Amino acid sequence: MHFPASVNFEQSDVLNARVRRVDGEYLISISSNFDPTINAVMARLVTSADVLPWLLLDSLERPKGAELLSRLCMEFILAHEHGHIIGGHVDQLALEKAGTDGISEFNVVSRDDQHATYDERSQAWEYEADTIGAALLDKQIDELIEAVKSQNLADNERTFLGAPEIAVEHVGALAIAALYVLFRLMRKTKDELILVGHHPDPLVRAFTCRDVISHRLMQRYDFDRGRFREMMIYHLETFDWAIEDLGYAASQMADDDGVNQVNDSLKNLAKLQSKYHHVTNNTRWAKWSMSQI
């Protein structure tokens, strides 16, 4: 699918991204501070002994892996904004509000502002954009899997992305953990600056992406689903410990109670998506549902 969208980088310390129509064309704007910030967080994260403990702390595989995960996060930011285009959100908003600033990750308006609202439709649209965005990562994930499978490792050699025989499970699990870190980073930005946003908890967003990525991996590969789940939970937990050490507080934990809350949140988001899906009947690029993704 061809995306006729231009991309620019805006000078801003706020980690934000937005998509809108400008002179009849789509324009995606991303904060210029996004890439260096994600790179810096990932670089610090992989220095934790909790993360990938089979690698020596001074292994060159750690910074190399941080770069790969940072790049995947930036790809997702772009894919998420494309999700708003494909889902018809951008065109629908343009029809309703001429001259709109488009759809942003955050609105730079205090939550104390009397006009700030959390509307259901925006929550549904962000959920849709996450699901479409995760689906658009197929190519990037496949490239990482193929890179791992093409490795010729000695018996005692260890790499960031793991061994060829577990390439699908490990790369898929790492991708979800990396996106979780991205969502934690964005939530921290929102909370510190008291911004308005319509995204759910970072763990809920990570599990949304998990559902899409795992489903699409099953369509393309034959792999051990139990091992994939174990690796995903393991990386979510260890990345969670490491990012908390960096000062990023969690609102939902990946324990049994937390997972139950996440599953309830996912059900509610799916209901909202179904409730407002008809709004973009005439503007979305493709007819789709979560079951199709």
Residues 166-220: tens digit of each pLDDT:
999 999 999 999 999 999 998 877 666 555 567 888 889 999 999 999 999 999 9
Report phi then psi at 8, rounded to 5.
-135, 165
Q: Which residues of the chain have pLDDT under 70?
A: 1-4, 98-101, 106-118, 153-156, 190-197, 250-256, 287-293
Report how far Cα 254 is from the mean position of its chain's Cα atoms: 17
Confirm whether 140 is domain-assigned. yes
Confirm whether 92 is domain-assigned. yes
Q: Which residues contact 87 (CB under 8 A, 6 or more apart)?
A: 125, 128, 129, 132, 280, 284, 285
DSSP, collapsed to helix, strand or coil, labels residue 167 as helix
Give the per-residue pLDDT at 158: 78
Nearest residue to 15 via CA among 227, 135, 193: 193
Confirm whether 202 is domain-assigned. yes
Give the per-residue pLDDT at 116: 43
Confirm whether 287 is domain-assigned. no
Confirm whether 292 is domain-assigned. no
Give residue 150's domain range.
5-280
Confirm whether 254 is domain-assigned. yes
Q: Which residues contact 111 (CB under 8 A, 6 or more apart)?
A: 194, 195, 196
Q: Please check whether residue 72 is in contact with residue 175, taking contact to mean a CB–CB distance below 8 angstroms.
A: yes
Tokens 């990386």 sit at which residue? 235
Confirm whether 72 is domain-assigned. yes
Give the per-residue pLDDT at 186: 87
Tokens of 226: 């139990």
Report phi then psi at 104, rounded to 5.
-115, 155
pTM: 0.89
Confirm whether 271 is domain-assigned. yes
CA atoms of 187 and 209, how far apart (whole Å) = 16
Q: Which residues of 262-286 are buried (b: 16+ CB within 10 A; e: fewer)?
A: beebbeebbebbeebbebbeebbee
**How many folded domains does the chain comprise?**
1
